[in-house]
């Protein structure tokens, strides 16, 4: 309770006391807003989402700060809870690994994805997600487990009104008691047993029905606590529905994992009496075990007379309502444009400042490209191509005169060609000018004695040289040189070239990201391939009508929809020529250097690959193509798209069923393009990119 300020004695200065009095009252107002949960008059403060979620009713009279304290991170001294969470975390990771097609098959995953008993889902359950999304989903469960564990000893008047059923309480107490007994003496055999106890307890919390009201459910009660914001307010639907998605996604994994373990147990038990073959045949299938569990407590209520409400039914309905609000609520304004000044939240920048930054980046990139192409003045030519502005090879004219010419007017590219390894540089119609750049950097080095001395070490590259080095003095130096005796390069020169290459690629990345129209998401840009691959198919970098463009087909909801969203981004000539020279002259040379050093014959097709050559099978294209570079998503939907599980914090962009039926096959997007009112989407994207580029250049010149 706040302490009232005593009035000052007569004759003293009242100013400080008067100000302090009002400041203390304001602090009391702020503290009151964070204290007890209270129900307000719906007529005066209407909030459909808060009314539907029922948080104020379920938590009425409870202290918000105290409730939030139950979700705090694990602290020193909480060894039992730390062990509880470690067990849960291990179970969750194993459940995710089990709920995969190669483990249980697609039939099981289709059943796990079912939300309506009478309706088969369009797609199977998908356990794939970004690492940070998986950590966020587990964090939601950590807070729920924290609430159940920490509030176990709280007085009933201070905690949410949820209650464990007799079965839930028995399994939860058995799990936590076993963990407490095992703290400090955990063994492998005990770990498997305690993990199974954890799994059974969580499944019981998901499964058991509530008899009177949803506030009795331990899951729904914990989710209500998660609705409280740090400032004492309530999370809105636009930001909260991902919590429901986390609960649903992980719960499905647990169901599949428990069914898989139950079959293993049944097989082991039957093997003891009937033999392995008979046990394998007679034991219940994972499919039937999952089907039974899903239809009992993982779907919406089918309407049978004997059905009772369960947590998952309520969570599905609440998420559907919340997603409806998300899709029909205008996002708060974060970007404002006034004259040539752009404001994003509290950051302001003028367009002319952006343009100056882009021009500066391009100049730096040209200087670095000249260094990579070994035309940056080395004693042989004394920078004779420096332009009249005195910026050396940072100027376009100087660099264009020093490097092989790009024939934009006669540049060809077959966009439908899907042969592995193909790019526009391999089109035979471009051979007249592309051929002049093949081996260009290697010839530049070979033709100059100074460059040869800088690049080549005469003590390396031959067996005789390696033997001579090994027989010579310093043992450590001899060992180092012997390990690299298969290549002739000086380590210092290779390292310097690598650093220059990375600096150039940083600037090229930024330019491609910012000046090709609306910037792409980082995963889209990171997965760009400059050449076709066997698994990924057609590349992302194209030449089209005298311009370079890159096409991204990744979308945040690809794993849900299975189809790709295609976006074309066109580069201005100043950036396009940097990309062409890099792919044409620099990258082949650096790949050759990497291949010689690492003794590999495989090169990466990814534009931003950490290693331009592939070292060994584990880092091969097959594995890379199945990660970010080939993760493409789209915005189509099924009948219940707004109720699909969210991966990331994505909005599920939805369309009508008729539009979905007209969606093109993912493998044909390049050949057919997407038609918008009779105009190809690539042309609209090209126009958009050009208008953005002209706007930036116009401001810079003005």
Query: What pLDDT shows up at residue 565?
Result: 74
| Rounded CA separation 365/144 (Å) | 50
Please, what sign has the CA dihedral across residues 15, 19, 22, 27? negative
* pLDDT for the residue 637: 34
Residue 523 to residue 628: CA distance in whole angstroms: 6
- Find, among 404, 483, 470, 469, the residue nearest to 440 by Cα: 404
Closest CA to 298 of 207, 208, 225: 207
Please, which residues have CB within 8 angstroms of residue 186's CB and are 6 or more apart in sequence?
83
- pTM of the shown model: 0.69
Please calculate the CA angle 534-540-541 and round it to the nearest 5 degrees: 120
pLDDT score at 167: 96
Instruction: Show the tokens assigned to 411.
Output: 């540049």
Sign of the dihedral through C-alpha 492, 493, 494, 495:
positive
Bridge partners (DSSP) of residue 343 are 336, 348
For residue 510, the number of C-alpha atoms closer than 13 Å in the C-beta half-sphere is 16
- The pLDDT, as a whole number, for residue 206 is 96
Size of the chain, expressed as the number of residues it contains: 702
**Secondary structure of residue 600 in the 3-state scheme:** coil
Asked whether the beta carbons of 516 and 484 are under 8 A apart, the reply is: no
Give the DSSP H/E element, type plus range, for residue 465. helix 463-471
Strand partners, 630: none
Per-residue confidence (pLDDT) for residue 554, from 0 to 100: 59
* 543 phi and psi angles, rounded to 5 deg: -105, 135
Q: What is the dihedral of CA 71, 77, 83, 86, to 10 degrees?
A: 60
Backbone dihedral angles phi then psi of residue 186, each to the nearest 5 degrees: -75, 135
Q: How many CB atoms lie under 10 A from the CB of residue 325? A: 16
DSSP character for 541? Answer: E
CB 399 within 8 A of CB 370: yes
Q: What is the 3-state secondary structure (H, E, C) of 309-362?
A: CCHHHHHHHHHHHHHHHHHCCCCCCCEEEECCEEEECCEEEEHHHHHHHHHHHH
Low-confidence ranges of the chain (pLDDT < 50): 1-3, 10, 188-189, 378-390, 464-466, 468-482, 617-681, 699-702
């Amino acid at each position: 309770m706040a302490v009232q300020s005593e009035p000052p004695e007569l004759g003293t200065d009242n100013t400080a006391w008067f100000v302090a009095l009002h400041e203390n009252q304001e602090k009391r107002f702020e503290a009151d807003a964070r204290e007890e949960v209270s129900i307000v008059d719906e007529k005066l403060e209407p909030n459909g989402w808060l009314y539907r979620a029922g948080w104020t009713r379920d938590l009425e009279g409870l202290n918000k700060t105290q409730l939030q304290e139950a979700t705090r991170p694990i602290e020193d001294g909480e060894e039992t809870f730390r062990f509880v969470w470690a067990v849960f975390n291990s179970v969750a990771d194993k459940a995710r690994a089990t709920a995969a097609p190669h483990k249980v098959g697609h039939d099981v995953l289709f059943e796990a994805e079912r939300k309506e008993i009478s309706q088969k889902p369009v797609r199977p359950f998908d356990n794939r997600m970004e690492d940070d999304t998986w950590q966020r989903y587990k964090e939601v469960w950590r807070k729920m487990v924290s609430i159940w564990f920490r509030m176990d000893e709280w007085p009933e008047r201070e905690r949410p009104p949820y209650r464990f059923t007799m079965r839930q309480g028995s399994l939860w107490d058995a799990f936590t008691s076993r963990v407490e007994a095992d703290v400090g003496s955990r063994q492998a055999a005990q770990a498997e047993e305690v993990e199974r106890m954890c799994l059974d307890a969580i499944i019981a919390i998901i499964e058991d029905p509530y008899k009177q009201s949803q506030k009795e459910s331990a899951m729904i009660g914990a989710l209500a606590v998660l609705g409280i914001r740090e400032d004492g307010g309530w999370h809105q639907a636009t930001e909260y529905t991902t919590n429901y998605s986390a609960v649903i996604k992980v719960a499905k994994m647990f169901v599949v994992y428990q069914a898989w373990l139950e079959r293993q147990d049944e097989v082991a038990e039957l093997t003891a009496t009937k033999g392995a073959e008979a046990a394998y045949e007679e034991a219940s299938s994972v499919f039937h075990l999952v089907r039974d569990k899903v239809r009992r407590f993982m779907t919406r209520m089918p309407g049978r007379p004997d059905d009772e409400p369960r947590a998952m039914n309520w969570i599905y309905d609440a998420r559907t309502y919340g997603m409806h609000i998300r899709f029909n609520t205008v996002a708060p304004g974060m970007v404002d444009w006034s004259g040539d000044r752009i404001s994003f939240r509290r950051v302001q920048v003028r367009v002319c400042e952006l343009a100056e930054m882009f021009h500066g980046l391009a100049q730096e990139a040209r200087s670095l490209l000249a260094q990579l192409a070994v035309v940056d003045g080395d004693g042989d030519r004394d920078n004779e191509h420096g332009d009249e502005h005195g910026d050396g090879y940072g100027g376009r004219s100087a660099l264009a005169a020093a490097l092989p010419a790009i024939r934009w007017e006669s540049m060809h590219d077959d966009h439908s060609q899907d042969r592995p390894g193909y790019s526009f540089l391999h089109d035979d119609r471009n051979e007249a000018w592309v051929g002049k750049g093949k081996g260009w950097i290697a010839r530049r080095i070979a033709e100059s004695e100074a460059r040869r001395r800088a690049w080549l070490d005469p003590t390396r590259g031959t067996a005789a040289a390696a033997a001579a080095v090994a027989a010579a003095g310093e043992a450590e130096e001899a060992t180092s040189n012997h390990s690299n005796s298969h290549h002739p390069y000086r380590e210092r020169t290779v390292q310097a070239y690598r650093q220059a290459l990375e600096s150039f690629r940083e600037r090229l990345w930024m330019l491609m990201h910012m000046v090709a129209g609306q910037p792409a998401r980082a995963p889209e840009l990171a997965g760009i391939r400059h050449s076709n691959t066997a698994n990924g198919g057609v590349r992302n970098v194209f030449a089209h009508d005298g311009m370079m463009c890159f096409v991204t087909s990744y979308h945040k909801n690809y794993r849900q929809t299975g189809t790709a969203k295609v976006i074309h981004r066109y580069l201005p000539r100043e950036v396009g020529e940097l990309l062409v020279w890099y792919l044409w002259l620099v990258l082949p040379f650096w790949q050759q250097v990497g291949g010689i050093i690492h003794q590999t014959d495989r090169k990466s097709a990814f534009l931003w690959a950490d290693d331009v050559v592939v070292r060994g099978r584990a880092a091969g294209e097959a594995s890379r193509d199945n990660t970010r570079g080939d993760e493409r998503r789209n915005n189509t939907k099924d009948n219940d798209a707004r109720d699909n599980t969210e991966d990331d914090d994505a909005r599920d962009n939805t369309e009508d069923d008729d539009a979905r039926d007209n969606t093109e096959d993912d493998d044909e997007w390049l050949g057919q393009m997407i038609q918008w009112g009779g105009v190809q989407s690539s042309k609209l994207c090209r126009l958009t990119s050009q208008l953005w580029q002209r706007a930036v250049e116009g401001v810079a010149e003005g």
